[in-house]
Homo-oligomer: A and B are copies of this chain.
C-alpha cells in the first residue's frame, strides 16, 4: 500500500521521463497514492516534475498540488496559466483551494478567481480568503451538510444526498433555523438508526460545540482535542453557520505548533526543514547565534571584572564553563515545563505557588549536585577544599536563580501576549550564563576575599 521512495525507483522515473514514455509512467503512477506522487515530484528536477504533472489527470494533480513542498508547488504553479490553475482549484475543497490561491502573487489571484467555473465555489473561496490564516475562518471549509430544523427526515435525506455530492467527508449534519443560525446537530449514527418518518426537530441534538470565525487556530485545536471532536462548526458574529473545520486540518495545526516550539527551544526562529536551502537555514539560525554571542561578550566582561582573582585563585576560572552550563541546563528545564504547561493549558494555581515549587525543586537538585561537586572537586579534580566549598555554594545559588528565571520569564511573556516559547533555548541559556557567572564570582569573592 505505502509506496517507499528509493534511489532505484527515482532513477526509474527519471529514465521514463527522459524517454518521454507517457504510457509507461501512467501505468506505474495509477497504483501510487497522490501523496506519494507528490513526494516523488519533490525529489525530481523542475522540468521532470512539470512533465509528470502535465501528463496526469487534473483530479489527481489537484490533490498532488496540496501535498507538494511549498517551493516545488510555487514552481509548478508559475508554469500554469490562470485557466489551468482554476481547473485544478475546481477539483478541490474550498479551504484547500483558498490556501493555494493565497500563495499566488496578487495579480494572478484575481485572474485565477475569474476563471473558476463553479460560481458558488468561487464565491466561497473569495469569502475564505478574507479570514486570517491562523483563525478558525482561515482553517474552515465551506463544504458541510446542513438541514433546516423544520424539515421532515424525508426532506432531510433528499436534501442531504444532494449536498453530500460536494462534501468528501460527512461528519455531522448541522441543524439551522430559518435565518441560517446554528441550532444543533444530527449525528450520522442517529440518521442510520432512526426511521425516515421521524421529524427533525424531534431527533436533533441541541447541545453543539462550535467556534467563532475569529477564534485562534491553536484554540480551535485545543477545544477539538479536549472534547474529542472530529469536526466543529464555525459561526459568524450573528451565530450563523459559515463553515466547518475537520480534524485533519487540526492535526496539521498541532504538528506545526509543536514543531515551532521545539525549534524555538533549539534556537531556530522560522519553520525550516533539513531540506531547505542554506540561506533559509542561516536566516533561521544566525539571529540566535548573534544573540548568544552578544550575551557571550557580556559574560566575558563579567569574568574580567573579577580579574583580580586570577593570580591567587586562577583555578576559579576553570569552573566558569561548568557553572554556565549548569545555569543554562536548569533554566531550559524550568522554562520547558512552563512553556509546555502553558501550551497544554495545564498550568493552574498562582504564580507564587509555582515559583515556590520551583525553589523547592532547585534546592533539592542543587543540594544533591553540590554534594557531588564537593566529592568530585576533591577526589576527581583534587582542588583545594575551600575552592570546592566555594564552587558548591555557588552552584546551589546559581541553580535556584536559574530555575526562577526559567520559570518567571515564560509566565511573564505569556501574560503580555508574547509567545513563551521564545524564552526557551538560546535566550534563557544566554541570560543564565551571565547571571550564573556573576553570582559565582560574587560568592567566591565573599568567601575567598580577593
Contacts and interface: CB of A to CB of B under 8 A. Distances in A.
Interface in A160-180: 160-161, 164-165, 167-170
Contacts of A337: 266, 268, 272-274, 281
Contact of A289 (B168, B248, B250, B365): B365
A299 interface: yes
Nearest to A317: B317
B251 A373 contact: no
Contact of A164 (B35, B189, B290, B348): B189
A251 B248 contact: no
Nearest to A222: B2
A263 B322 CA distance: 22
Interface in A273-301: 273-275, 278, 281-282, 285-286, 288-290, 292-297, 299-301
A328 B360 CA distance: 28
A333 B288 contact: yes
A350 to B, nearest CB: 9
A142 B340 CA distance: 33
Contacts of A2: 209, 223, 226
A430 interface: yes
Given A230-B169, A258-B258, A321 B346 contact: no
A361 B325 contact: no
A340 B259 contact: yes
Contact residue range for chain A? 35 or more
Interface stretch (A15-23, A100-108, A114-122, A421-429): A421-429
A325 B429 contact: yes
A266 B268 contact: no
A330 B266 CA distance: 9
A390 interface: no
A340 B192 contact: no
Contact of A329 (B161, B170, B288, B348): B288
Q: How many copies altogether?
A: 2
A160 B191 CA distance: 12
A428 to B, nearest CB: 10
B230 A247 contact: yes
Interface in A328-350: 328-330, 332-333, 335-338, 340-341, 344, 346-348
A336 B300 contact: no
Contact of A274 (B281, B292, B304, B341): B341
The interface centre, meaning the residue of A35, A307, A325, A373 with most chain B CB atoms within 10 A of its CB, is A325
Contacts of A230: 169, 230, 246-248
Contacts of A433: 321, 325
Contacts of A255: 225, 254, 258
Contact of A170 (B167, B188, B325, B424): B188
Nearest to A192: B164
A330 B289 contact: yes
Contact of A278 (B209, B273, B292, B364): B364
A193 interface: yes
A100 to B, nearest CB: 16
A282 B399 CA distance: 13
Contact of A376 (B209, B297, B299): B297
A278 B360 contact: yes
A173 to B, nearest CB: 10
A352 interface: no
A250 B160 CA distance: 30
Given A2-B223, A266-B332, A429-B328, A304 B315 contact: yes
A366 to B, nearest CB: 9
A286 to B, nearest CB: 6
Given A278-B360, A296-B319, 14 more contacts: A2-B209, A33-B227, A168-B189, A266-B336, A267-B329, A268-B337, A273-B340, A292-B329, A293-B326, A299-B325, A303-B321, A317-B320, A321-B433, A328-B328
List 3 tightest A-B contacts by C-beta distance, closest first. A296-B322, A266-B336, A258-B258
